[in-house]
């Protein structure tokens, strides 16, 4: 209640709506959430309260706050999903677990997402990236749309060997889009609302998973993908062995969907921002292209990118980190206090919603000199702990980091080796969604190099 928050600096805004109006309008400005946060930080300091989107919320920033909230020592905080996100993903999703159950689920998904396990999907991604880019030549494309199609095909194939074209892919895509748009919608469950469409699409998606799982179990179809590895090793069966450590079908489906939701928009946004920043920074593009042209020059046999080449792209890796710093795709990390604790001299009570504002950390001149400059070379030397949080940190750090980096490196390789491109609009507005994306979807014109 507002009374409980009296000791915390800040302003709760107007009755009922609180500060939601300025939060939403600033959220979609080029500066994004940063401008909302910055004015309040200047007024109240690194920890302040607000009332936005129906929730009393504490915003925090700084490396110290990052360390406390993200390492979450002794179960200090849990993840805090929007109500609609909780309903869509289901109660056994990794995002709704904490403590030992969270650790167990992380272990199960860590292996199929590990660097070595990703090797078997490399050829699919490589071919798909080259084919996607073949379609771009001498056209005007909306990068965000194209990136979204590419990343969805990759993850659909990786998880359940979905073919990149055909009716199954179309159904998967349509359902996924509805699920994704409902994720942070208003919880109004009557026909026609985003939330209602999302729940219905989720049910259709689960029916699709059920049919694939049953075909796999009956031996009707055999594949070497993420789903198969979980079915083989981790789902409950009739073998009589100890089943306590295994997943039910419900857990399996909730967590497959969680990976799709957590991995798709983020990777799409990262690829789009990366192409935008390269168009705006010709020096960086030139240096990046040099790295990739050297790969081509040094190639002894074959004409296509190889696994050992893609795992040795040091400058590209820095360009990716700088992209994630500048864009800060997930602008804040939401937590709920699981116990009382103190931060910056403020008493935080159990149950409160606390958000770590990551944009301010990524744009703090104390952490990154000249923070508005796109400069991948700042990652040449080690950076201070908890100043770069592109993939998060601690027990909830992104488990899809290797997959995301692999997709980006492959796509960038084909892009810079074969094409040049120009942005068709100068518009820095940001789409007001949970994952920050360019509002204009980044229209570009593409030509052969």
Binding residues: 398
Nearer to ligand HEM, 193 or 433 (CB): 433
Nearer to ligand HEM, 71 or 193 (CB): 71
Nearer to ligand HEM, 197 or 343 (CB): 343
Q: Which residues contact 135 (CB under 8 A, 6 or more apart)?
A: 141
**Using the 8-state DSSP alphabet, how is residue 91 labeled?**
T
Residues numbered 255-314 forming contacts with ligand HEM, rule: CB under 6 A: 258-259, 262-263, 266-267, 270
Kindly state whether residue 88 participates in binding ligand HEM, applying the rule CB under 6 A.
no
Comparing CA positions, the residue from 322, 313, 299 lying closest to residue 416 is 313
By CB under 6 A, name the one of 59, 273, 333, 379 that touches ligand HEM. 333
Residue 423: strand pairing partners: 444
Give the burial string for 247-257 (b: 16+ CB within 10 Å, else e).
Answer: bebebbbbbbb
**Site size for ligand HEM (CB under 6 A):** 24
Q: Which residues are annotated as a binding site for heme?
A: 398
Residue 60: strand pairing partners: 47, 356
Instruction: Pick the piece of the chain touching ligand HEM (CB under 6 A) from 37-45, 134-142, 254-262, 339-347.
Output: 254-262
By CB under 6 A, name the one of 37, 324, 434, 444 that touches ligand HEM. 324
By CB under 6 A, name the one of 95, 108, 252, 284 that touches ligand HEM. 95
CB atoms within 10 A of CB 67: 15
Nearer to ligand HEM, 376 or 390 (CB): 390
Nearer to ligand HEM, 404 or 416 (CB): 404
16-21 contacts at long range (C-beta below 8 A, 24 or more positions apart): 18/50, 18/51, 18/52, 19/50, 19/51, 19/52, 20/51, 20/52, 20/53, 20/54
Residue keyed to tokens 């770069």: 388
By CB under 6 A, name the one of 391, 411, 413, 416 that touches ligand HEM. 391
Min CB(400)–ligand HEM separation in Å: 2
Kindly state whether residue 330 participates in binding ligand HEM, applying the rule CB under 6 A.
yes
Instruction: Determine the Cα–Cα distance for residues 384 and 379; give it in Å rounded to an integer.
Output: 11
| HSE-CB of 181 using CA atoms within 13 angstroms | 12
Residue 447: strand pairing partners: 420
Min CB(392)–ligand HEM separation in Å: 3
Min CB(247)–ligand HEM separation in Å: 15
Q: How far is CA 13 from CA 7, 21, 24, in A?
A: 16, 10, 13
Q: How far is CA 159 from CA 9, 72, 170, 271, in A?
A: 46, 30, 16, 20
Nearer to ligand HEM, 390 or 438 (CB): 390
Nearer to ligand HEM, 158 or 197 (CB): 158
Instruction: Determine the Cα–Cα distance for residues 306 and 402; give it in Å rounded to an integer.
Output: 16
Residues numbered 371-390 forming contacts with ligand HEM, rule: CB under 6 A: 390
Nearer to ligand HEM, 9 or 164 (CB): 164
**Using the 8-state DSSP alphabet, how is residue 395 labeled?**
G
Kindly state whether residue 108 participates in binding ligand HEM, applying the rule CB under 6 A.
no
Q: Is residue 26 within 8 Å of 33, Cβ to Cβ?
A: yes
Kindly state whether residue 404 participates in binding ligand HEM, applying the rule CB under 6 A.
yes
Instruction: Pick the piece of the chain touching ligand HEM (CB under 6 A) from 54-62, 162-170, 279-287, 324-332.
Output: 324-332
| HSE-CB of 135 using CA atoms within 13 angstroms | 12
Kindly state whether residue 354 participates in binding ligand HEM, applying the rule CB under 6 A.
no
Q: Is residue 249 within 8 Å of 213, Cβ to Cβ?
A: yes
Nearer to ligand HEM, 94 or 359 (CB): 94
Kindly state whether residue 392 participates in binding ligand HEM, applying the rule CB under 6 A.
yes
Kindly state whether residue 396 participates in binding ligand HEM, applying the rule CB under 6 A.
yes
Kindly state whether residue 106 participates in binding ligand HEM, applying the rule CB under 6 A.
yes
Q: Please give the residue whose beta carbon sits closest to ligand HEM in the complex.
A: 400
Kindly state whether residue 79 participates in binding ligand HEM, applying the rule CB under 6 A.
yes
Footprint of ligand HEM (CB under 6 A): 79, 94-95, 106, 258-259, 262-263, 266-267, 270, 324, 329-330, 333, 390-392, 396, 398-400, 403-404
């Amino acid at each position: 209640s507002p009374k409980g928050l009296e000791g915390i600096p800040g302003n709760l805004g107007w009755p009922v709506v609180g500060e939601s109006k300025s939060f939403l309008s600033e959220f979609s400005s080029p500066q994004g959430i940063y401008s909302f946060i910055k004015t309040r930080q200047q007024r109240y300091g690194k920890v302040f309260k607000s009332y936005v989107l129906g929730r009393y919320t504490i915003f925090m920033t700084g490396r110290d706050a990052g360390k406390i909230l993200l390492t979450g020592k002794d179960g200090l905080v849990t993840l805090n999903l929007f109500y609609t996100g909780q309903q869509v993903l289901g109660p056994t999703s990794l995002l709704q677990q904490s403590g030992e159950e969270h650790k167990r689920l992380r272990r199960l998904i860590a292996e199929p997402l590990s660097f070595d396990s990703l090797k078997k999907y490399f050829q699919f991604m490589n071919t798909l990236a080259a084919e996607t880019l073949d379609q771009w030549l001498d056209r005007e494309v909306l990068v965000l749309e194209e990136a979204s199609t590419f990343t969805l095909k990759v993850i659909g194939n990786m998880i359940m060997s979905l073919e990149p074209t055909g009716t199954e892919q179309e159904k998967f895509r349509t359902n996924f889009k509805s699920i994704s748009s409902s994720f942070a919608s208003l919880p109004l469950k009557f026909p026609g609302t985003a939330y209602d469409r999302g729940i219905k699409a989720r049910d259709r998606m689960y029916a699709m998973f059920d049919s694939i799982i049953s075909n796999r179990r009956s031996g009707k179809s055999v594949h070497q993908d993420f789903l198969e590895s979980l079915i083989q090793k981790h789902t409950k069966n009739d073998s009589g062995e100890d089943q306590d450590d295994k997943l039910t079908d419900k857990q399996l489906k909730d967590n497959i969907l969680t990976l799709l939701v957590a991995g798709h928009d983020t990777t799409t946004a990262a690829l789009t921002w990366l192409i935008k920043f390269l168009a705006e920074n010709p020096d960086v593009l030139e240096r990046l292209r040099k790295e990739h042209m050297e790969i081509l020059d040094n190639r002894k046999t074959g004409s296509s990118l190889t696994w050992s080449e893609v795992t040795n792209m040091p400058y590209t890796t820095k360009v990716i980190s700088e992209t994630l710093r500048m864009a800060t795709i997930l602008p804040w990390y939401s937590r709920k206090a699981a116990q009382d604790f103190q931060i910056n001299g403020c008493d935080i009570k159990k149950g409160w919603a606390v958000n770590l504002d990551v944009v301010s950390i990524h744009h703090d001149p104390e952490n990154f000199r000249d923070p508005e400059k796109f400069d991948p070379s700042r990652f040449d030397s080690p950076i201070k702990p908890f100043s770069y949080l592109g993939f998060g940190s601690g027990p909830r750090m992104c488990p899809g980091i290797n997959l995301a980096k692999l997709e980006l490196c492959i796509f960038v390789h084909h892009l810079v080796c074969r094409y040049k491109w120009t942005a068709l609009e100068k518009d820095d507005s940001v789409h007001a969604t949970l994952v920050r994306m360019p509002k204009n979807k980044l229209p570009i014109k593409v030509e052969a190099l």
